[in-house]
Chains A and B, each alone.
Chain A
Amino acid sequence: SRVQLSITEFYRST
């Protein structure tokens, strides 16, 4: 099965 990644895992908070 596949896991949905989160967008916050890729981009940092500013």
Chain B
Amino acid sequence: MLELRLVQGSLLKKVLEATKDLVTDANFDCSATGFSLQAMDSSHVALVALLLRSEGFEHYRCDRNISMGMNLNNMSKMLKCAGNDDIITIKGDDGSDTVTFMFESPNQDKISDFEMKLMDIDSEHLGIPEAEYHAIVKMPSSEFQRICKDLSSIGDTVVISVTKEGVKFSTRGDIGTANIVCRQNKTVDKPEEATIIEMNEPVSLTFALRYLNSFTKATPLSESVTVSLSSELPVVVEYKIADMGYIRFYLAPKIED
């Protein structure tokens, strides 16, 4: 028996919008810790990891660990039927091949339930160890989105370099080149507007902009984004989900042939 009641149902809607273009099918895992997902894109270049902690739900009942395979496009279709202010409850029964999404309007005058077929997904689960990163950049998520979008109109890949001068995003394409440098800036009105660069060592890595642009679909989930870089590791682009957890995207770098 599984019953998860999320008062801020819009969070789940936003999570689906952030993941459904990157991943087609995924197993949602439910345990005492929370509601989570780990999935790779079809080319195994990027990975998404989601955690919504059990404490963030108004009601969280999960009698035993359960994994539910869902088509994210179909799940998104159902969640789009929920209002932005609706409370969403996810219900499942042991051994059932369906999951139910219940939507309640804030004043309880409209209650809907949508039953979706589950699927068997044979997915590979990866162990991601805690890592020391050479540089961690925290910046407004809208700024990161703007940079990825702007650069993708010039080139296909971006070089992200962190030095003591700041973080530089560079691209080149048929029409020319572009460089955007963001310097640390803590003197802002709100903490989420700050750009904070923690650098242990200078680092420079190349990534496909197509994936980074896809990650920025998570921008509505958080005012700020954290980009963690290490020369031997995939970049981690993390959006914190207020009081609940996070959505993290991992992207493998491109290297010189």
Using a CB–CB cutoff of 8 Å, the interface residues on chain A facing chain B are 1-14
Contacts and interface: CB of A to CB of B under 8 A. Distances in A.
B160 interface: no
Contacts of A12: 126-127
A10 B234 contact: yes
Contacts of B157: 2
Contacts of A9: 252
Main secondary structure of the interface of A (DSSP, over half): mixed
A8 B157 CA distance: 20
Interface string B35-48: 00000100111110
B257 A13 contact: no
Interface residues of B, number: 25
A6 B252 contact: yes
Contact of B126 (A1, A2, A5, A7): A7
Given A7-B44, A8-B44, 14 more contacts: A2-B254, A3-B256, A3-B257, A5-B255, A7-B40, A7-B47, A7-B126, A7-B251, A8-B40, A8-B124, A10-B234, A11-B126, A11-B250, A14-B126
B250 A4 contact: no
Interface in B236-257: 250-257
Interface in B111-131: 124-129
